Amino acid sequence: MSNDIFLYQILLYCALGLSLFLAILVRRYIIKLQDQEDRVLQLRTETQAVFDLLSQLGQSLSTEINEEKSLNDINNYIVEQTQAEAGAIFLVNNDGETLTPRVIAGMFPPLQSTSDYVLTKPKYLEQIVKQERVKIGEGIIGLVAQNGDAMLIANAQTDRRMPRFSESQLPVKSLILSPMKVHEKILGVICMVNKRNDQVFTDSDLRSLKAFSSQAAVLVDTVQLYNELSEKQRIEQELNVARRFQQLLLPKSVPDVPGVDFSGTSVSALEVGGDFYDFIWLDGHRLGLVIADVVGKGIPGAIIMTMARSVIRAQSSLIRTPRDVMREVNQRFLQDTEDKVFITMIFAIMDFRHGKMSMCRAGQEPMVQLTGDGSTTLIHTPRGIALGLIDTVSDQMMEEIDVPLNNNDVFILYTDGVVEAMNRSGDEYGRDRLLKVLRGCGPKSKPQEIQQAIMKDIDRFSDHARQHDDITMIIVKINDLEKMRSFGKSEVIDIRAH
């Protein structure tokens, strides 16, 4: 009988231990789900903040190009979003060796160790700070400008990189700094000092500042260039600015995927229409392809293109379906742009692991597929209305299709500037001629070679006539399906680097 009691006790302890172990596992799983939910919510909040800033600046710049006003708008917005007590935007001077604070919000203290000041009225303190020149590489501001890396200093009073000030000067408790960078060129540094209510800046605050400074840098670069234009050359130079702005947002390189080749190009016309294309990694085995045409000319069109690109990238990072991304872009355009502003677009997701491409089409030219044996040309025209025209986009109005990927398949996505290219007689290039060039390239042709063949044929047809619209295209070729599938199953992609 005692043995039975002993065995019963052992079983009871084992059951209690197992229950405790399962409870710990369940709790850890719940915490993990909560962390994931908080991460998605935080990402949405940060994305909305960036988009709000772009929308605000876009409306401002569409009526007036004013550098100081734009900088003040940016600085004040960031101060509020990060809950900083003070903030300043330092811009690199023409000498390329120093920075000067252009705009200041709040009681922003001088951050140079050579500063000689005591607590004073805000207007006098601002004058003192604005008179200082910060050498690149010296001090905390100069260090960020030199290295190009964002920085969080949670405890400024113990950080060796911070200068020491007397007790009569403004205390610096914590600060966040981020470079304003366009294609590795440093335009300036944004700095937020001392979070309100005795709080300390966090990594989340730093991420927000980096997102703001990235978008602000492109806008500041555009505004600075615009201010250099003379009135006599205003119209022509505005188009050049918009074209430059557009090129800044295009991919610097094509994706590197074993078994798959890519190419992409966007050639600006005399009048900039706002074409753009993009490659967006969603995770280790899915890649988003975007080709779009935004209605609008010059600077306003280029700014709207920036807004569209930001929303598409933000929504894609949540790994939604093409149709979900389209719907979100549609809603943002309706809410944050003026009437008669819309965008045509194709958004496709290549799933390397499962060997398929999912796509939606919003009023854009159809996707063309040349099958691997070269015998069949497929024109994919899923239903889809241009975005920004109506409130609700139903499933019937925005069709999503899946296209299987096979060896030697070639896909081409293009804007209407390709088929509507004109010769000197006003005749259009047309889709039939495009398909003829595509079929004539041969099964061994690479996307870059196909792209060059199309561009040469357009040039030959147009007889070097100037075009009225951008010519933009993405070409994809499946070379080895098994290599592609293996990549999708095994490779780990750091999507933050793309």
pLDDT one-digit tens code per residue, 444-454: 889 999 999 99
Q: What is the CATH number of the domain that holds 126?
A: 3.30.450.40
Find where tokens 């330092």 sit: 90
Question: Which pLDDT score, from 0 to 100, does residue 62 have?
Answer: 47
Q: Which two tokens stand for residue 375?
A: 């015998």
Check residues 406 and 273 and name the one with the higher pLDDT: 406
User: 6 falls in which pLDDT band (50, 70, 90)?
Assistant: low
Kindly state whether residue 29 falls inside one of the protein's structural domains: no
Q: What is the mean pLDDT of the chain?
A: 80
Q: Which of 154-163, 237-246, 354-363 has the lowest mean pLDDT?
A: 237-246
Kindly state whether residue 471 falls inside one of the protein's structural domains: yes
Residues 263 and 212 in one domain: no
pLDDT one-digit tens code per residue, 173-230: 999 999 999 888 899 999 999 999 989 999 989 988 888 888 778 777 877 776 665 5
**CA angle 191–183–248, rounded 5-degree value:** 110
Q: Which two tokens stand for residue 213?
A: 């400074």
Question: Which pLDDT score, from 0 to 100, does residue 1 have?
Answer: 54
Question: Which pLDDT score, from 0 to 100, does residue 214 have?
Answer: 80
Residues 297 and 403 in one domain: yes
Overall size of the chain counted in residues: 498
Cα–Cα distance between 208 and 214 in angstroms, integer?
Answer: 10
**CA angle 42–177–118, rounded 5-degree value:** 125
Residues 332 and 424 in one domain: yes
Residues 201 and 277 in one domain: no
Kindly state whether residue 5 falls inside one of the protein's structural domains: no
pLDDT one-digit tens code per residue, 381-395: 999 988 888 877 777
Question: Which pLDDT score, from 0 to 100, does residue 498 have?
Answer: 44
Residues 383 and 425 in one domain: yes
CA distances from 455 to 205, 419, 444, 451 (A): 46, 11, 19, 6
Structural domain including 149 reads: 67-226
Percentage of the chain exceeding pLDDT 70 = 74
Question: Which pLDDT score, from 0 to 100, does residue 495 have?
Answer: 45
pLDDT one-digit tens code per residue, 62-111: 455 677 888 888 889 899 889 999 999 999 998 889 999 989 998 888 77
Residues 206 and 288 in one domain: no
Residues 266 and 183 in one domain: no
Residues 346 and 275 in one domain: yes
Residues 468 and 344 in one domain: yes
Are residues 345 and 481 in contact, defined by beta-carbon separation less than 8 angstroms? no
CA distances from 134 to 119, 178, 385 (A): 21, 15, 52
Question: Which pLDDT score, from 0 to 100, does residue 150 have?
Answer: 93
Q: Which two tokens stand for residue 350?
A: 């290549």
Count the domains in the chain.
Answer: 2
